[in-house]
């Protein structure tokens, strides 16, 4: 059978370069991968406003591409994750991803985070494709990051079920609320089930959401493991990784008391106090990052560097693990 290869317009090639380059830049500049993926999605969407036919038509994934004849277009399993049909589609996905992605990436690191995002996004598209092989449906392009975002949710819920995140919950209207990740996963699963069985005809690929969610749980089980909790005599939960590493299982809690030495101004003192009291993981991490960017060496006054839970002066005047 002869292979069919579709040519790409220059604007679609530019969009692919943007998708890949944002990830590469985030790696070299040490930017959170969550931010990079959101930026890539936004830029590609703005391109699609002007060049809608090219972006969606050429970069969207179609189930028919799984056939041998159209297999050269299999790269759209990747590109489709960065393409959205309209502004509401983009906004809904990016809001959930922003609130949840930052917290999860901070837990597991950018490498595993990106791997889970890409694999579950592809799994979501494949699930949709397998269930839509009918010729009348298999040529319709599938676009959006929903499968990957549901994959992140599934992985997060499996590995860190009792973490609390701020998340938009669409119940009639959009509510922004603090919720445990496990409960969010259950809630979204119920909503997807209702949409599938009671929603009738819809342009939303709900089975891609299911595929992403389930694959996220499976990958997290294999790659991360489930975190155990111990309750200290003071009633504070200490989080432990169950995966094996050269360091063994160890707590991921930060000892904030070690940072009080560098909270040398009232502003820094108040900032650290806010970090210690905050219960929402991603809010706490943002404040901690801001605090660490402001601290200075108590000896020479130069900004302190921080890496691997350690603050240090470039001139070797001061060092502190936290």
List the single range of 26-40, 41-55, 112-126, 305-319 with lowest mean pLDDT: 305-319
Query: Which CA distances in Å does 109 have to 85, 101, 143, 260, 318?
Result: 30, 11, 27, 26, 27
Query: Which CA distances in Å does 246 have to 111, 243, 294?
Result: 18, 10, 33
CA distance 86 to 42: 11
- At 258-287, the pLDDT tens digits run 888 888 888 888 888 888 887 766 667 777
Residue 29: CB atoms within 10 A of its CB come to 8
Question: Sorting pLDDT into bands at 50, 70 and 90, what band is 34?
Answer: very high
pLDDT at 236 over 50: no
For residues 256 and 139, the answer to whether their CB atoms sit within 8 Å is no
131-135 mean pLDDT: 69
pLDDT at 8 over 90: yes
For residues 315 and 304, the answer to whether their CB atoms sit within 8 Å is no
Query: How high is the pLDDT of residue 272?
Result: 85
List the single range of 112-121, 145-154, 158-167, 276-285 with lowest mean pLDDT: 276-285
Query: How high is the pLDDT of residue 173?
Result: 67
Pairing mode, strands 319-321 and 237-240: unpaired
The 3-state secondary structure of 168-220, one letter per residue: EEEECEEEEEEEEHHHHHHHHHHHHHHHHHHCCCCCCCHHHHHHHHHHHHHHH
97-114 mean pLDDT: 91
For residues 150 and 188, the answer to whether their CB atoms sit within 8 Å is yes
Question: Taking the C-alpha atoms of 216, 116, 74 and 88 in order, what is their torsion angle to the nearest 10 degrees?
Answer: 80
pLDDT at 241 over 50: no
pLDDT at 232 over 60: no
For residues 56 and 85, the answer to whether their CB atoms sit within 8 Å is yes
pLDDT at 145 over 80: yes
- Domains of the chain with bracketed CATH: 10-223 (1.20.1540.10), 254-321 (no CATH)
pLDDT at 192 over 50: yes
161-190 mean pLDDT: 83
pLDDT at 98 over 70: yes
Tokens of 260: 């009080």
Query: How high is the pLDDT of residue 112?
Result: 93
CA distance 292 to 300: 17
* DSSP helix/strand/coil, 303: strand
Question: Sorting pLDDT into bands at 50, 70 and 90, what band is 322?
Answer: confident
Question: Sorting pLDDT into bands at 50, 70 and 90, what band is 243?
Answer: very low
CA distance 318 to 191: 53
C-alpha count within 13 angstroms, C-beta hemisphere, residue 140: 13
Query: How high is the pLDDT of residue 154?
Result: 95
**pLDDT mean across residues, the chain:** 82
Query: How high is the pLDDT of residue 318?
Result: 80
Query: How high is the pLDDT of residue 209?
Result: 86
Q: What is the pTM of this model?
A: 0.72
For residues 157 and 181, the answer to whether their CB atoms sit within 8 Å is yes
For residues 138 and 57, the answer to whether their CB atoms sit within 8 Å is no
Residue 192, C-beta contacts closer than 8 angstroms, at least 6 positions apart: 206, 209, 210, 213
């Amino acid at each position: 059978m002869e292979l069919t290869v579709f040519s790409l317009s220059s604007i679609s090639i530019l969009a692919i370069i943007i998708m890949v380059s944002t990830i590469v830049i985030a790696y070299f500049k040490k930017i959170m991968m969550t931010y990079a993926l959101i930026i890539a999605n936004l830029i590609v969407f703005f391109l699609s406003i002007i060049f809608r036919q090219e972006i969606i038509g050429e970069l969207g994934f179609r189930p028919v591409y799984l056939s041998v004849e159209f297999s050269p277009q299999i790269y759209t399993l990747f590109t489709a994750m960065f393409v959205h049909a309209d502004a509401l589609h983009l906004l809904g996905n990016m809001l959930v991803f922003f609130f949840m992605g930052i917290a999860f990436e901070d837990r597991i690191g950018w490498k595993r985070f990106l791997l889970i995002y890409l694999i579950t996004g592809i799994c979501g598209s494949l699930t949709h494709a397998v269930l839509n092989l009918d010729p009348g449906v298999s040529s319709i392009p599938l676009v959006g990051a929903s499968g990957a975002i549901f994959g992140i949710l599934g992985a997060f819920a499996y590995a860190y079920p009792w973490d609390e995140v701020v998340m938009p919950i669409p119940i009639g209207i959009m509510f922004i609320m603090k919720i445990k990740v496990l409960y969010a996963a259950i809630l979204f699963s119920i909503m997807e089930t209702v949409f599938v069985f009671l929603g009738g005809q819809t342009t939303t690929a709900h089975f891609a959401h299911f595929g992403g969610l389930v694959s996220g749980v499976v990958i997290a089980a294999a790659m991360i493991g489930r975190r155990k909790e111990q309750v200290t005599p003071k009633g504070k939960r200490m989080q432990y990784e169950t995966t094996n590493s050269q360091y063994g299982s160890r707590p991921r809690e930060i000892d904030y008391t070690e940072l009080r030495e560098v909270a040398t101004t009232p502003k820094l003192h108040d900032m650290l106090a806010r970090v210690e009291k905050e219960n929402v993981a991603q809010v706490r991490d943002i404040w901690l990052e801001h605090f660490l960017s402001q601290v200075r060496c108590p000896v020479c006054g130069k900004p302190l560097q921080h890496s691997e839970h350690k603050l240090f002066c470039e001139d070797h005047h001061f060092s502190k693990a936290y």
